[in-house]
């Protein structure tokens, strides 16, 4: 009989010690998929130079995307997404410029914990012009905000 009592007390003790951890709600993860989505906007054809006189293009994307967001319920959040697809870029103001078609991939990750926030984003684009020209661009951007409010950012781009 004392042995059963001891086992019962140990089991109760384990449950009570584990109770605070189980009182915290579990993280909630949401996953969203988009297939064959489209988006059209005006921008410049990607390049690592930021020429203020770069010609405007109407760019139409067709892509697939997956996004995961995990909310821990205590101020911590983790998010990541990947978007990949094709594009068509047509000059807006000068029809003598080449049109472009190609492929792209964008990835992003974001974290917050109630004290700091950070994120990293990458984009890779390969395009071919109607004139036979081609380009390839890869850019990485990162930001970080510290508990003191200091902000840090860098961008690295290469052709």
**Longest Cα pair distance anywhere in the chain, in angstroms?**
95
Q: What is the mean pLDDT of residues 18-40?
A: 83
157 vs 6, higher pLDDT: 157
Mean pLDDT of 97-110: 97
Domain layout of the chain by residue ranges: 27-158
CA distance 72 to 78: 8
List Cβ neighbours of 81 (8 Å cut-off, separation of 6 or more): 65, 66, 67, 68, 106, 107, 108
Q: What local confidence, expressed as pLDDT, does residue 65 receive?
A: 98
What confidence score (pLDDT) does residue 18 get?
A: 46
pLDDT tens digits for 129-141?
999 999 999 999 9
d(CA 46, CA 100): 11
């Amino acid at each position: 009989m004392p042995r059963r009592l001891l086992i019962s007390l140990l089991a109760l003790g384990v449950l009570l010690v584990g109770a605070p951890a189980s009182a915290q709600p579990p993280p909630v993860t949401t996953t969203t998929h988009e297939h064959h989505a489209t988006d059209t906007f005006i921008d410049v054809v990607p390049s690592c130079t930021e020429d203020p006189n770069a010609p405007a293009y109407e760019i139409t994307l067709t892509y697939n995307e997956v996004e995961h967001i995990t909310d821990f319920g205590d101020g911590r959040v983790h998010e990541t997404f990947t978007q990949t697809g094709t594009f068509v870029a047509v000059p807006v103001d000068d029809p003598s410029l080449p049109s472009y078609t190609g492929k792209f991939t964008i990835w992003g990750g974001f974290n917050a914990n109630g004290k700091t926030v950070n994120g990293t984003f990458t984009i890779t684009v390969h395009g071919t012009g109607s004139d036979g020209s081609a380009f390839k661009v890869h850019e990485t951007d990162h930001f970080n905000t510290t508990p003191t409010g200091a902000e840090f950012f860098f961008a690295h781009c290469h052709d």
